[in-house]
Amino acid sequence: MLVKFISSTSGQIMMFAPVARQILEILGKDCNARGVITSEQIPEAINLLRLAAADSRRQAEGITPSPSENRDGKDEASPVDLSQRAHPLIELLDWTHKDDGFVLWEAAKDF
């Protein structure tokens, strides 16, 4: 299932429900079919996501080696961590905050 994040001022992004759940839990939000990050909540949301992304990046650097070859001689891709997945939403929140807007999310059902 996809979750769509819609800025009142800056466009929209979509992400899969498990990633959206992880991000919304960091923000202390319920994973309902619809919700809002108000203009007053955006600065704290940006800060929380940046902290979580930085922590995730540090953990990934300590655990995940650079891409290496597997048994078949093909390169293995590094897993995508939270810092990469949260970046588009952080950018959307930044742009929305500059224009004193808000961000809604919607999905087909609670997730």
What is the residue extent of each domain of the chain?
2-62+79-107
Rounded Cα gap, residues 45 and 90, in angstroms = 8
pLDDT of the residue at 14: 98
pLDDT of the residue at 12: 97
pLDDT of the residue at 52: 96
Binned average pLDDT, 10 residues per bin, the chain of 111 residues: 97 97 97 98 98 90 59 65 94 97 98 94
Neighbouring residues of 49: CB distance < 8 A, sequence distance ≥ 6: 23, 26, 27, 86, 89, 90, 93
Kindly report the pTM of this predicted structure: 0.82
pLDDT of the residue at 80: 82
Rounded Cα gap, residues 84 and 61, in angstroms = 13
